A and B are shown apart, each in its own frame.
Chain A
Amino acid sequence: MTDETKWLTEQIDRLAQQPEFTNRAFWLALARVVAEQDRRTEQLGGEVDGRTWSPDRW
């Protein structure tokens, strides 16, 4: 998890302390999408690196 994601998740967790159940659910679900963004960014970055540095292309 990047520092930026950690910070963002902490902020979202703080907002997830809402009295209304459906609002609490929203912020918690947003935190899950943020985690998914993190994974996707890492995978896409890895794939870009991998394809850019393919030994076949040296």
Chain B
Amino acid sequence: MTTLVLVSHPELADSSTQQFLKASLPKSAIIWEHIESQSTIDIEKEQRQLRQADRIILQFPLYWYSAPAGLKQWEDTVLTRNFVYGDHRYPLAGKSLGLVVSTGMPAAAFQRGGAEGFSLDDLLTPFAALAQRARMTWLPTLAIPQFSYLEEPEKLKLVTDYQRYLTQDYPDSLANRQAWFADQLASRIAQLPADQQVTGRMIADQFDQRRTAISDLQGTLAMIKEQEDD
């Protein structure tokens, strides 16, 4: 799976959130682009990248309940009517679209009765409408509220949550989570010091056995439920 990450931020170098996310990017199959650092938007190149990607991530800080102006300009320039749906070919159909949105307010502010009074889903509806128009699959938004207040364990968790958001199969079920970790294990073990690789392999074996055991139990349960229906 190839994931295209389009970052919109007027001052990327000054953003600790964006620098952190950049350092957390998975090592392969990612195309990363900062929209505002391009002097002109090359429409053909942008559309080609969109066609090549299986998952498209729009990543930005929430500015006045929406994306920074740079992303809107990119949308208006690149997502031409003919490209998205005008010629009835829908080149983005079947791809997934997700937002990674950082906010200055806490998560609890974004709900009815919260300090902002609207959920992020409410505020970011135009992006969901775009996904629907383009026949894409909409991913639940990955919100990063108040990054600067995160403690180290929360930042460590964010690294993997972000990587999974970019590359794990949708939906985020236990089965898909297990598959993602199983898939990652070989390359992570290879990065361990030589004397720890045996432990790494034992962990991978155990992890796999547990995954099979859960799958077997689910099979048994499905069989029991089927008989109950008879």
Contacts and interface: CB of A to CB of B under 8 A. Distances in A.
Given A12-B203, A21-B159, A48-B220, A34 B210 contact: yes
A33 B220 contact: no
Interface string B189-230: 001100010011011001100110110011011001100100
Interface size bucket, B side? 35 or more
Interface stretch (B46-54, B73-81, B95-103, B176-184): B176-184
A17 to B, nearest CB: 9
Contacts, number: 87
Interface residues of A, number: 30
Nearest to B228: A51
Given A23-B191, A48-B221, A52-B224, A30 B199 contact: no
Given A29-B157, A45-B217, A52-B224, A37 B199 contact: no
Given A11-B202, A12-B203, A15-B203, A25 B174 contact: no
Interface of A: 4, 8, 11-12, 14-15, 18, 20-30, 33-34, 36-37, 40-41, 44-45, 47-48, 51-52
